[in-house]
Amino acid sequence: MAEDARKDARDLHTAGAAYDPTTALVVVDVQNDFADPRGALYVPGGEEVVPLVNREIDRALGAGALVVCTQDWHPERTPHFQTDGGIWPVHCVAGTWGAELHPGLRAVAGEPIRKGSGGEDGYSAFSVRDPTSGATAPTRLERVLREGGVRRVVVVGLATDYCVAETALDARRLGFEAVVLTEAVRAVNLQPGDGDRAIERMRAAGATII
């Protein structure tokens, strides 16, 4: 704990999170539909996170930390979308421009973790959830992290109030330390204040908010 406190204190001065081989950087859904102003579910300011996320990727890789990217990856029809009873405009349809990682994002080795491809809601990078039955199923993220000896995750990307929040909350439930870098996340804010409330939920779950 003392070591973590020192690490976080250091973070505050150097800007960005601290990385080591037991830390993983999880880059959540930095995709055209969220990060490009022309995107179908553009998150205000989404493009601003790209250089900050790139800086974190460089720092993480330089310190021997794992870097994992995620992609929201939906079929054309899913109850996740307004067209089929859900709350979202059609976005991140598998194989489309909107689902591609933002072209300014630093390339990272390894397959991105794709969530939602079976028509589920895939808010958390750790799990997907059938919106009809409520049944959840894990993605491969937890296994990848455990196999890599990871005990701490740094979460950046889009969107604070959905995929970033659910990823950080699941990380805490699974016993990982979680750090959220607020400068490298942006919120949808369907309701004003959703992003700030999500940050408070993450903090209440034991995440470190930088």
Q: Is 120 a residue that touches Zn ion (CB under 5 A)?
A: no
Q: Give the number of C-alpha atoms closer than 13 A to the C-alpha of residue 157, restricted to the C-beta side.
A: 32
To the query of whether residue 29 is one of the catalytic residues in this protein, the response is yes
Q: Which of 18, 60, 113, 163 binds ligand VGL (CB under 6 A)?
A: 163
Q: How far, CA to CA in Å, does 190 sit from each of 41, 42, 97, 160, 162?
A: 11, 12, 24, 12, 11
Closest CA to 170 of 126, 137, 122: 126
The contact mask relative to ligand VGL for 13-42 (x = CB under 6 A, - = no) is ----------------x----x--------
To the query of whether residue 69 is one of the catalytic residues in this protein, the response is no
What residues contact residue 116 under an 8 Å CB cut-off, 6+ apart? 72, 73, 74, 78, 80, 92, 122, 128
To the query of whether residue 36 is one of the catalytic residues in this protein, the response is no
**Segment lying near Zn ion (by CB under 5 A), choices 68-76, 126-134, 176-184, 196-204:** 68-76
From the list 115, 121, 161, 170, the catalytic residue is: 115
Q: Is 72 a residue that touches ligand VGL (CB under 6 A)?
A: yes
Sheet holding 66-72, edge to edge: 113-115, 66-72, 23-28, 152-158, 177-186, 208-209
**Minimum CB distance to ligand VGL smaller for 29 or for 170:** 29
Q: How far, CA to CA in Å, does 58 sit from each of 93, 114, 145, 192?
A: 29, 22, 19, 33
**Minimum CB distance to ligand VGL smaller for 18 or for 185:** 185
Q: Is 161 a residue that touches Zn ion (CB under 5 A)?
A: no
Q: At closest approach, how far in Å is the CB of 159 from ligand VGL? A: 4
Catalytic residues: 29, 115, 163
Residue numbers at the binding site for ligand VGL (CB under 6 A)? 29, 34, 72, 88, 158-159, 162-163
